[in-house]
Each structure stands twice: as structure tokens, then as C-alpha cells.
Structure 1
């Protein structure tokens, strides 16, 4: 009996019945084949969605299927509109005179990739569980490439916002210097971030594989990783770096930026309280804070829940649903690129109003009125 993964102990029943076996899973693993891992930052969509998709209640299974398709579809549709408006804006030359415009342009592209991969991954899970794949090679390729693209594109976006925050602190401290604002520097940083992030996730391309699971359906399959202990530690460390470092840097940069601007204005205007100046500067320069603040606020629930449920069996529905909600919520900033990057900025919004798309949209609106 060799059905169990993660070094689980396999107990075989009837030799002639492929599905008659039982896996005794090691700590932090569960599932019919011990395929699901609940160690730190090891939760995946398969383990979170499969209990609902495989529910014995037909009504619950159909309702879950509909919800898990509708939510990422809505995110993708809204995100496509928002990202398209952002792309049109950041294609304007004046938006890319500084590094921030290049970071936002690249971040918008990767946001769209991550939203597309999110929906594709969920559809892949559903098709796999139901055993509907005809071409094994295509299934294996999708199993390997979708998690890789989903992880990489999402985390590249985190790092790009970090460098936007760093650039804005640099401008605040050194208002007359332009080294870190140069487009050439930004392009170099973007290239290095992309190479570094993709290289750190190469193991996903190698270690994700398709395994059969006859316990649920005759042709049911799982897309799972089979990592050695050393590679498991690397994967956890890698994920922690890509989550925690951007989160902490964004948080620190936001606080430092607020303090620096408030202090500068306080020295210039002695008649106002620091809190009053703080409020005024926040409203005046909100485009400098909103992207990093939204990413910090959005990442916080997922981090807290992930740490709270380490090695949990997820036997309580609310635990799993909290993880699912926080997982989907982590993709909300990818849908809001136009609202986060363009609308708060007078320069970017003015450049958007100069585009052919805006003129066409505003012209159509006047015609309708």
C-alpha cells in the first residue's frame, strides 16, 4: 500500500478494491492521502475548497461550486476594467517620468495576471476533483504552472509597492535629489524583483504533481506538492519572506512618511497643532499613503489567521471559511489598481483625462444625456 503522501502510514483493506485504504497522517497533514498541509503558510486552495466541493449534500456542493466560481469571476471582471484604465493611464509618458509610474505600470500587469490565474486555479481544482480532464499532459502542465504564476505574480506586486514607498520616503528626505526616482533605476529594480521572485518559486514548477484519488470519484485527482523536509522548510521560509517583509516595510514606510511630512510642516507652521497638520498633510498627499496602507490593512487578516491556525485540522467550518475569506480578500487590491494608484493622484488623474479612452467614454456619456 503506497497511497499515502507526506510519509503517512497506509493501511490496506480489500486488495481488489483500489479505494479501500486508510492513511494515518503525520502531524499537520490531513486528507484521504495526507495531501493537505496545515503548517505555517502551507494552506492551499485545494485543502480549503475541497470539503465543500465534495460535500455529500448535493445542494451544498452546488451552492459552493457556484460561489467559488462567481467570486473570482467578479474579481477578474472588475479587476480587468480597473487594470485596463490603469494601463491606459500609465502608458502616458508623463506618468513615467519618475520611478513610481513604472512600478505602478508593472504592478498593474502582474495584478491582471494574478486575477486570471486565481480563476484558472479554481476551475482547475473543480475539474480535477470531478475527474473531467482528458489530457493528462495538459493537466500536469496546469498543475505546475498555475501555482507558480499565482504565487509569483502576486508577490511581485507586493515588492513593487514596497519600492514605491521607499522612493517616496527618499523624495521626502532628499527633495532635490533624483537618483532613486530615475526610470532607469526603477526598470533595473523591477527586473531584479521579477527574477528574484520567480527564481525563489521554481521549486513549485518541479514539485507540483498530479496524484489519483479513487476514494471520491473514479477519476478524481489532486494537484499536490511532495516536498522533502528541507524543501518544506525552504518553502515556508520563502513564503514568510515574501509575505512578512513587504508587509513590515510598507508599514514602517507609511508611519515614517507620515511623521516626516507632519514634522516638516510643523516646523514651518508653529501656530497649528501637529495633529491638525497631520490631518491636512494626509488629505493633501493621500496618493503617497493610500497604496501602501491598503496593502498593509489587506494583508493583516490573512497573516493573523494563518499564524492562528498553524497545524489545525480545520475540522471546524468557521476556521476554513475565515481562511477562504482572507485568501480571496488578499486579491482585492489587484482589482483596485485604478482606485489606488490613479484616482488619489492629481497628476495621474489628469493624465487619464487626457487619454483617448476617457475622451471616448465622456463623449458617449454626453451623447446619452
Structure 2
């Protein structure tokens, strides 16, 4: 409905097609209406454009991902108005654009480590300005602890403040500001002297939207605007996501979503992505090639019926299959994440299925591979212990049963993971970029269970490997010492160790390679910021190495296995040449 107060003779009172609300007729107000500006308060008629600052950062400026921007209005002796907003800093962008409309004449930024930097100031309030500034290390406002000796710092405030002109006079001419726990002081020129002007500044302000904090999980609430146009935004702590910090991702099991997600930019082509994305793509391709070669070569070796006459052959054939499955799952996980974050894949049902299954299956088969390696070591020890009474057919039956049992065991021991996996939507209000995250949220009891299972799955196969190698070498040495009576048992033991030392070395190397994954899962509840991504990415890729080393660890050190592999390669080559000859 048209209102004569808001629209007179076809002319709208409020500018820019903003909303006009008539005032109560019983109350005489000037003007008799209120303009609600779509882009926040600017003036009574919404005609004033917002102030903008294009802020870049010095090359050596080590900034956290989020900064607080303080817009303050300084009168003669006090700060009459202070507005604080926050801004997330993209790793891909060299600068950030900040808009504001509240009256102010000084701009400061603060990182989450409470380092304050001076950006700009002027006598009058900013009005329709478009600034371009660079934050530099020299613009930091140090604490008085860095400027005065302990004697002066320990003075009472009224006595100590008398010395506050000294830093402005003795330090660099461009020295901008400093602060204590109560005051924020600016240096200025007065009749040829450098003096300080100090104002009370609350360094421990609670950002809770004036007691109406809608943010959860300890998120900080910031109000942008005034009156009817107030808009609450939430600054989430680490491990929390969402417009109201309603989603948490603690103990995310080292998922690629959390490691690489924020580094993938939807509006940029693959070739222009950040260095960490290019590095991860290169590593992905290398791991795929090595994994496929390892899996195929191992499978070629143990498809030989002669090697599958005992359980060891079946375990290693199973290991080659799990290696290929791990590579396929890892490839799918990596490229689905890349294309989903680049908005090339948007089917929510598909993304939900891969969120539920890929990491879950990847976890099952990585641990399955470790157990199969332990089974190989265990059977070798049993072969030596039983000697002539070792039965090959029984060994094959036990191996088939064990492989099935291990698969069921790993499926059920991690069954909780897909039940607690889900997708969340995260929209960047500045860029309007939408991200879809796959996160896993555990209760405290499930976190304890998950940690216990991780530790068990990590150390048990390793211990089985070492104990089996020890039993094999000592038992074989004792058997030889009963026959070779003239030889010393220690000499025989040393000889057998030299012959079978790879049985000790291999599991130790594998456990060292898998160790980063376990360490990171314990020392960090989740990734504190995307600046930690390199550490997590290295840990993630290193933890995959044991799964692609089956051929190197088990086939190459064994003369028998290597001989059979060469025979199989010759047979395949002959078969291929024969078929090509027939085809021609």
C-alpha cells in the first residue's frame, strides 16, 4: 500500500528503493517517517554511500585468518563511539575490502592474539571515503611492557601515565600508538613536539550483541548497523562452523575436507589454485601411480597358484587387492572434494553418499591392510614353530576365514562413523560463496571410544609383526643349534637375524610412517586454522605410504617371491606377444 507520508507526488522519500516506515501519527517526530536502508544505516534518507577501505598486508605480516576492525570516533577527550566488526582473511587474496557506515575518524585492526595495528586517522568523521591502505609491522601499537622498564610499569596508573609522552618523543617519528590495560594512546605533533593523547579503551570487551548472543559453541556475536537494521554475525572459535557456529568438527579423523576445504576457491580455475592445492594434486598423482604399480605387481606375484599353497600367499594377495581399493577410494575422495568445493559437483544426494561412505571405507581398508601384513608375519612364525607338522591345506582354510573375519571386524568396529557424518552448508556473507562441508561429530564417550580404537588398531598389528619376527628367528636358531652342535647359539642367532632382519625393519618403518596420523589425532582436537593445513596434509599423505609398499616390503626382499614374480612377468609378456602375433 502507498502511504502519502512515504511517497509524495510520486517521489519516494527514501533513496535507493529502501523501505520507508511511517511514524506513529500520535507522536510528532521529525521527519515523520524512518528509512530502513538495505545496506545498513547511512543517513536519514539512505542517500549516503558506505565508506570503504581496501586493506592489504605487508609481505612479512603474519596474520591469523580473522581480524577485528575497530572504527572509533574520538572527540576532544574521549571515545564517543566504537564499532567493532570482524573479517576473515582469504589465503588466496592479497587484500580485503571493508565497508562501514558508522561515524568514525580512526581505524585500527586487531588480530586474535590481541596485537593492535594503526591503519588510518583524520580529524573529521569519514564521509563517502574510499581508502587504500597497507597494514605494516611498524604500525603495531605495542604494550607498555615493551616500552618501559619494570619499575615504571609497576607504578600506579596516575604516576605512570606521566611518562606516556616519552615513547612518542624517543622512538621513530612515524611511531603511531601504544597501549596499556586501560588506555589506548596515539602520538601526535603539537608545536614542534611529539606528545601522546590517551583514551580509555576496553581491551576485554565481550562481544555478545548486548546480551542477546545468538551464537553457540562459545561464538562471539557482533552487531553491524543500528536501530532496525542491526544484523548479528558470529565469529566462531576453532572447530566450529555455520552462521551461528552451530556445527562442530572436533576430532575429524584427519579428513581431507577440513585440511584442504578452505584453500579451494570456487571462482578460480584449477591451475590458478593455491600452492597447497597444486602440491596436493601432484602428491595425489604420484601416490596413484605408485599405488597402482605396487598393487598390480603384488597381484601378479600372488596370482601364481604355487604361492597360494599356503596362507601367506592369500594374505598378500588380499593385501594387493586392499591396496588397489585404497587407491581408488583415495582418488575418488580427493577429486570429489576438489570439484565439489569448486562448485562443479552440486548434487546433494551424491555428496551425502560420498560423505557417509568414502572416509569410512578408506579407514576400513587402511586398517585391513595393516592386519593382513600382521597375519603374514604370524603365519611365518607358526610355520617355523610347527615345522614338519605344518599343514598347508589347513593354513589356506584358516587364511580364508581370517580374511573374512578381519573384514567383518573392521566394518563393525568403525560402524559408528557413517552414523555421525553429515553435510553442512556454510555461506560466506561477503563473497556469497557457498561451501558444503562433510563433518563428523562425536559425543565425549564416542571420542574416547574412537581414540581407544585408533590406538588399538595402530599398535596391535605392529606388536604382532615384531613378536612373530622374534619367534621366527629364535625358534629357527634353536632348531639349527640342535643339529649344528659345534656352532655357538649366539652365532647362529646373529646369522639368522642378518638373513631375516627385514622382518624387523619393515614393521618398524611402516609404524614410523603411520605415526604422524596417530600423533596429530592426539595432539590436536581439530585443525585450529587453515594455516595448519601443511602439517595435516603431510601427516595425511605419510599415513597412506604403508598401504602402497606391499611389493617393496614383502616381494623384493624375498628371493623366492622375486623369482616367482619374474616368472609371472615372463609368462604375461609371452602371452601378450602371442596374442599380438595372432591378431596381426
Place the TM-score, normalised by the shorter chain, in its bin: 0.7 to 0.9
Scaled by the length of structure 1, the TM-score of the pair is: 0.80
Q: 1:244 aligns with which of 449, 459, 464?
A: 459
Structure 1 residue aligned with 2:185: none
1:225 Cα deviation from its structure 2 partner: 1.2
Structure 1 residue aligned with 2:551: 338
For residue 104 of structure 1, give the secondary structure of its aligned residue in structure 2. helix
Q: For 2:215 and 2:331, how far apart are their aligned partners in 1? A: 30
Change (3 A) 1:315 1:213: closer
Q: Deviations over 1:142-170 (max 9, x none)?
A: 11111111101111111111111111221
1:192 corresponds to 2:405: yes
Change (3 A) 1:278 1:225: same
Q: For 1:255 and 1:345, how far apart are their aligned partners in 2? A: 18
Q: For 2:231 and 2:542, how far apart are their aligned partners in 1? A: 39
Q: Which moved more, 1:337-346 or 1:58-67?
A: 58-67
1:21 Cα deviation from its structure 2 partner: 2.4
The answer to whether the Cα contact below 8 Å between 2:374 and 2:465 also exists between their aligned partners in 1 is: yes
For residue 355 of structure 1, give the secondary structure of its aligned residue in structure 2. helix
Structure 1 residue aligned with 2:357: 145
Q: For 2:480 and 2:528, how far apart are their aligned partners in 1? A: 51
Structure 2 residue aligned with 1:367: none
1:23 corresponds to 2:236: yes
Change (3 A) 1:359 1:46: closer
Change (3 A) 1:312 1:78: closer
Q: For 2:432 and 2:476, how far apart are their aligned partners in 1? A: 61
Structure 1 residue aligned with 2:314: 102
Q: For 2:232 and 2:335, how far apart are their aligned partners in 1? A: 25
Q: For 1:53 and 1:252, how far apart are their aligned partners in 2? A: 45
1:123 corresponds to 2:335: yes
1:347 corresponds to 2:560: yes
Q: Deviations over 1:121-179 (max 9, x none)?
A: 22233233333322111111111111111101111111111111111221222212325
Q: 1:48 aligns with which of 243, 250, 259?
A: 259
For residue 340 of structure 1, give the secondary structure of its aligned residue in structure 2. helix
Change (3 A) 1:152 1:273: same
Q: Which moved more, 1:46-55 or 1:246-255?
A: 46-55
Unmatched tracts of structure 1, length 5 or more: 365-369
Q: Which moved more, 1:290-299 or 1:152-161?
A: 290-299
Q: For 1:149 and 1:217, how far apart are their aligned partners in 2? A: 33
Structure 2 residue aligned with 1:157: 369
The answer to whether the Cα contact below 8 Å between 1:130 and 1:219 also exists between their aligned partners in 2 is: no
Change (3 A) 1:321 1:264: farther
Q: Deviations over 1:300-347 (max 9, x none)?
A: 34434544x244764595x65344223212222322222222222233
Q: 2:436 aligns with which of 214, 221, 232?
A: 221
1:201 Cα deviation from its structure 2 partner: 1.9
Structure 2 residue aligned with 1:132: 344
The answer to whether the Cα contact below 8 Å between 1:111 and 1:334 also exists between their aligned partners in 2 is: yes
1:224 Cα deviation from its structure 2 partner: 0.5
Change (3 A) 1:8 1:133: farther
1:17 Cα deviation from its structure 2 partner: 11
Change (3 A) 1:328 1:263: farther
1:220 Cα deviation from its structure 2 partner: 0.9
Q: For 2:231 and 2:525, how far apart are their aligned partners in 1? A: 29
Q: For 1:259 and 1:341, how far apart are their aligned partners in 2? A: 21
The answer to whether the Cα contact below 8 Å between 2:340 and 2:346 also exists between their aligned partners in 1 is: no
For residue 209 of structure 1, give the secondary structure of its aligned residue in structure 2. strand
**RMSD over equivalenced CA pairs, Å:** 3.7
Structure 2 residue aligned with 1:170: 382
Give the structure with higher Rg (CA): 2
Unmatched tracts of structure 2, length 5 or more: 1-212, 578-584
For residue 223 of structure 1, give the secondary structure of its aligned residue in structure 2. strand
Q: For 1:283 and 1:353, how far apart are their aligned partners in 2? A: 25
1:182 corresponds to 2:395: yes
Matches for 1:350-369 after TM superposition, within 5 Å: 350-355=563-568, 360=573
Matches for 1:188-337 after TM superposition, within 5 Å: 188-215=401-428, 218-262=433-477, 264-265=479-480, 268=484, 271=487, 274=490, 277-278=492-493, 280-285=495-500, 288-289=503-504, 291-307=506-522, 309-311=523-525, 314=528, 320-337=533-550
Change (3 A) 1:92 1:2: farther
Higher relative contact order (CA closer than 8 Å, sequence separation 6+): 1
Scaled by the length of structure 2, the TM-score of the pair is: 0.53
Matches for 1:60-99 after TM superposition, within 5 Å: 61-99=273-311
Structure 2 residue aligned with 1:114: 326
For residue 236 of structure 2, give the secondary structure of its aligned residue in structure 1. strand
